[in-house]
Amino acid sequence: MDDPSCGKWPYRIAGQRLEYPRMMKTLKALIDMRITCYAMVCAIAALFANTAAAADAYLLNDQDKLLLRVGQWSAPEQSFVFWNGLSGEYAIGPDGKLSIALVGSVEAQGKTIEELTVEISQRIQNVVGTTAPPAVSLEIIAYKPIYVGGSVNAPGAYPYRFGMTVQQAIAVAGGPPRAAIPQETVPREAIRLRGEIEGYKTRIARLEIEQQRFEAEIAAYSGQQGEAGTLPLSQTDAAALEAKIFETNQNSIEAQQTRISDLRTLLQVQIKRLTDEIKLRDEQIVLAAQELANVQTLQEKGLAVNARLTSLSTALNDLEAKRIQLEIAKLTAEQQLNLTQRDELSLLDDARLRRMSELKSSQIELDDVKIRLATALSLYSEAVARGTIDDEADLELPDPIYRVTRHKDDTVEQLVLPATGVLKPGDTLQVVLEDSFEASGN
């Protein structure tokens, strides 16, 4: 540019006659305007890029709410113009689609913000007919809600925040359940719950020891005597008592077996003696019959009197009658022997059947007591969590389990997350108190 001292001024710009100072002022204003516009365009582009990059890893869901901004740089106006007719808040419908004026329905579920931004920009360009695609910005302003239930104070649906953990969701849902308990009843309630818990644990321990005895007796009565003759119990008062009962029952069964065995031996001896007596009677009957036949022959010849014949006939009849009595006695003894053998065989079966019935009843009671203990532990744990009871007792409280139901594509996943686990939009969190005690250790 020539120096104004050269005498070539004034110059004409756009048909207007300008002096040197005025021209410099105008040029400076134009340069400042271009710098401002360039900075604005860079800022808008950076906003679009940052919005897309921040949500790049997140896939959109139904019920997500989006803020849509659409605009274009206007060269004549030297400014960025927003298209208010398209810009605004939109929600993804249950069908996973986003409905936008002029554009229509756009498939949004399962896509990233960046992918959806590009598609909307291209579709707007096709509909409007611009030479260049418009600038489009998408921002997630609300995620699909999560649902919290179970052992929380206020179950229900809650807004999701990106990166929300299980602990944060429980805090949003009001934490553990609270109950309005009069202050004077708190110590009494604590004492009652602790007493119930300790009582249930003691009863469970005794029932488990009792079941060990039943199982040991069943094994012994089943002929598995080898190592089952002793009861595998720890040396506690309850265990010692059950061991004594086990020993007493074993002795009782053995005594009954001994009595049955002695009776069987006695009956066998009696049957043998009766058999010998019957054999002797048979011999006597044969001799008496022969003698009677001889006397009858002599009588026919007139050599024997009738009194002799009558006496022999009576003696033979007595022998036969006694033989019949011996046969009856033998049959009775044999019948008793059969009954004894049957009793001997059924003794162990009956004892085993009784123990199995007792074992079943004990198992039913054990299950019932475990349920009662779990309930008492849950109540105590909730009372500790809400601060109405100080956990001074060394009790094994139930640990919370965080079960999450998550819909993924067309499948449903059942997950168990830690307290620091990260939830996703649409998750259903169920807080469950688990019974984690071990009665045998108490």
Contact at 8 Å (CB) between 113 and 69? Answer: no
At 395, the pLDDT band (50, 70, 90 cuts) reads low
In terms of average pLDDT, the best of 38-47, 66-75, 89-98, 177-186 is 89-98
Report, as an integer, the average pLDDT of 156-185: 78
Q: How many CB atoms lie within 10 A of CB 109?
A: 18
Distance, CA of 441 to CA of 395 (rounded, Å): 12
Query: How does DSSP assign 197-223, residue by residue?
Result: HHHHHHHHHHHHHHHHHHHHHHHHHTT
Helix (H, G, I), strand (E, B) or coil at 1: coil
The pLDDT value recorded for residue 149 is: 92
Threshold 0.75, pTM exceeds: no
- Cα–Cα distance for residue pair 55/390, rounded to 1 Å: 45
Domains of the chain from N-terminus onward: 201-386 (1.10.287)
Tokens of 22: 């005025």
Give the max Cα distance, the chain. 206
Q: What is the 3-state secondary structure (H, E, C) of 382-396?
A: HHHHCCCCCCCCCCC
Give the separation between CA 104 and CA 117, rounded to whole angstroms.
14
| 87 touches 134 (CB < 8 A) | no
> Which one has a higher pLDDT value, 264 or 245?
264
Is the model's pLDDT at 364 over the cut of 80?
yes
Q: How confident is the model at residue 441 (pLDDT cuts 50, 70, 90)?
A: very low
Distance between CA atoms of residues 144 and 164, nearest Å: 12
Distances (CA, A) of 51 to 56, 87, 142, 332, 423: 9, 16, 14, 105, 22
At residue 260, does pLDDT exceed 70?
Answer: yes
